Amino acid sequence: MTEGKEGIDIFTRRLESEGIIASLFLLPSLIGFVVFFAAPFLIGFYYSLMDSPVGGSFVGLENYRDLLGNPVFRRAAENTFRFTAISVPLNMLFSLGLAMLLNRRMRMRNWFRIAYLSPLIVPVASVVLVWKVLFDDSGAINGWLAAAGGSPKDWMESGWAMTVIIIVYLWKNIGYNMILFLAGLQNIPADYYEAASIDGAGKFRQWTSITLVYLTPTTFFVFIMSIINSFKVFRETYLIAGEYPHNSIYMLQHYMNNMFRSLDYQKLTSAAFLMALVIVVLVLMLFMIERRITKSLS
């Protein structure tokens, strides 16, 4: 009895020592998170409740009310929502289709995988240069239209601007999501498809009952990452169309960038926190839905 108690005490002390060692290794990352993320986050929230960053007074939610009544902010929020609502489903659809295609045996399969991943390693400035060559007033696409007898278009100063940005987003992100879907497809046991085929299930029934079911965790992860990446398209949009682009592609990031340039920190921090709140709530809702679906499947 005494030996067993001593063994438990030794095991407990070992766990405590390992926990201390692990905490010491995690401490630099924790300090970096607090200094560069948590502290600026709280300071920004404090400034969003003040009427001035220097010697200001507390105004509560007044900055948020003014922001929601601002037509420029509402337009930026509508454009951001529209872009995300269109580009994210298209990104998931195309990346899943490519993953299913490249999951089969085909010639040059590895080369195609590398080709679709190449946009991830291309610098943003190079990407913007290529797209400017294509969609500039005197670019390649207008040259092809003129050669075919059509009239050139000002792509970034017309209703086509949103379409151009969606194409840039898809080109940049499809390869990453394709790899995630491909990993999920390769983790599905082939025995399931063989058993379903023996039972008389067709290809479509196998796809709906096996492939989509087992891809549920991967699909939710890809969905969340696609939403997050849709907010990063500002870099390409800014470099292609400038700080005041066409009204159809004036995003929340443009609004916050312009507020920063004009030193309007109240609108900047308020807009940033509203956007962060929407993203956090959306991600939490998706995780709740994913847990319920996973429990129902298990």
d(CA 152, CA 23): 62
d(CA 131, CA 42): 38
- pLDDT, tens only, 219-246: 888 888 888 888 877 777 777 777 778 7
- pLDDT, tens only, 171-221: 888 888 888 888 888 888 878 777 878 877 777 787 777 788 788 888 888
- Per CATH, the architecture of 70-297 is what? Orthogonal Bundle (1.10)
d(CA 199, CA 209): 13
Judged against a pLDDT cut of 90, whether residue 90 lies above it is answered with yes
pTM comes to: 0.77
* 85 Cβ neighbours under 8 A, 6+ residues apart: none
Crossing angle between the packed helical segments 252-261 and 234-241, to the nearest 10 degrees: 70
d(CA 83, CA 87): 6
